[in-house]
Chains A and B, each alone.
Chain A
Amino acid sequence: QKEVEQNSGPLSVPEGAIASLNCTYSDRGSQSFFWYRQYSGKSPELIMSIYSNGDKEDGRFTAQLNKASQYVSLLIRDSQPSDSATYLCAVNVIPKTSYDKVIFGPGTSLSVIP
C-alpha cells in the first residue's frame, strides 16, 4: 500500500464552484498534514497545514482531517482559473530508525474552467 494516495484527476470544475480534493494515508502515527500547490515547472508552495481532527479554514481554502479514517481533504471555494494547478497532499511519517520525514502523494491535477 502506498503511504499517501490521491486521485490523480484531472479534476475539472467551473469557475466559482467548489473543488474538493481528497487524500488518504497509511501511517496511523502521522501527526502533520499539508496541502501544497504546484504550478507546472515550479516548486510546490504550501497552502495549508492541519494537525487536529476537524476543519481548518484559511480564506477560500478549508482543510479537513479525520485521523480515524486516515483521510484529509482540501476544499477550494469560489474556484478561480488561477487555482488550476496540481495539488499535493503531504504527510509526515516517523520511521522507526530514521528522522521524521514528509511523504507526498501523487498529486491531483485541478483545472478550473472559465
Chain B
Amino acid sequence: GAVVSQHPSWVICKSGTSVKIECRSLDFQATTMFWYRQFPKQSLMLMATSNEGSKATYEQGVEKDKFLINHASLTLSTLTVTSAHPEDSSFYICSEGDILYGYTFGSGTRLTVV
C-alpha cells in the first residue's frame, strides 16, 4: 500500500503562532489527501480533503482561514494551523489512498498549544 511520511511527529507552540504540518507521499502520487483531527478518546474527524492543484474541500464547521491546506504537488500536502490556541491542541493525521485499495495514514502530529 501507499506510504505516507508526516512531519513533525509532535510540536509545542505558543498561543497565537502558526504551525505547519507536512504530509509527503513516498510511493504513490496522491491526487487527494485527507486531513483528520482526533481529540483524546474520540474518533477521527475529517477536516478537509486536499486536492492537488485546486482548493481544498472543507467539512462543515472547519474554519478555512484557520486551517490552511496546500497541495501544490502530487507528493506533498501541508496543513497550517494559523493563530493556534489551546483548543486546537489535538492529534492531526493525514491519509491518502483510494476506495479500491484502502487508505494509508501518516504517523500523525501531536500539536500542543500552550
* A41 / chain B contacts, CB cutoff of 8 Å: 110
Q: Say which one of A14-22, A65-73, A96-104 lies at the interface with B.
A: A96-104
What would be 19 A-B contacts, judged by CB atoms less than 8 Å apart?
A31-B99, A32-B99, A34-B103, A42-B108, A43-B93, A43-B105, A43-B106, A45-B105, A46-B1, A46-B102, A46-B104, A49-B102, A90-B103, A92-B99, A99-B32, A99-B49, A102-B95, A104-B43, A104-B45
Contact status of A102 and B34, CB under 8 A, knowing A32-B99, A43-B106, A44-B105: yes
Chain A residue nearest to B93 in the complex (CB): A43
Distance between Cα atoms of A45 and B104 in the complex (Å): 7
B103–A46 touching, CB < 8 Å: yes
Q: Which residues of A contact B102 (CB under 8 A)?
A: 34, 46, 49
The answer to whether A98 and B49 have CB atoms under 8 Å apart is yes
A sample of 17 more A-B contacts (CB under 8 A), given A92-B99, A99-B32, A101-B49, is A41-B110, A42-B107, A43-B93, A44-B105, A45-B105, A46-B104, A49-B101, A88-B44, A90-B103, A98-B57, A99-B51, A102-B46, A102-B99, A104-B43, A104-B45, A105-B43, A106-B43
Which size class do B's interface residues fall under? 20 to 34
Q: Which of B60-114 contact A (CB under 8 A)?
A: 93, 95, 99-108, 110
Which A residues between 82 and 114 are near B, CB-CB below 8 angstroms?
Answer: 88, 90, 92, 98-107
In the bound complex, do residue B42 and residue A106 qualify as a contact, i.e. CB atoms below 8 Å apart?
yes
Tell me the interface secondary structure of chain B in the complex.
strand
Give Cα A105 to B42, complex, Å: 10
Interface size, A (range): 20 to 34
Q: Which residue in B57, B93, B103 is a CB contact (below 8 Å) of A102? A: B103
| A105 CA to B100 CA, complexed, in Å | 19
CB distance from A22 to the nearest CB of B (A): 15
Q: Are the CB atoms of A101 and B46 closer together than 8 Å?
A: yes
Residue of B nearest to A107 (CB): B43
Nearest CB of chain B from residue A95's CB, rounded to whole Å: 9
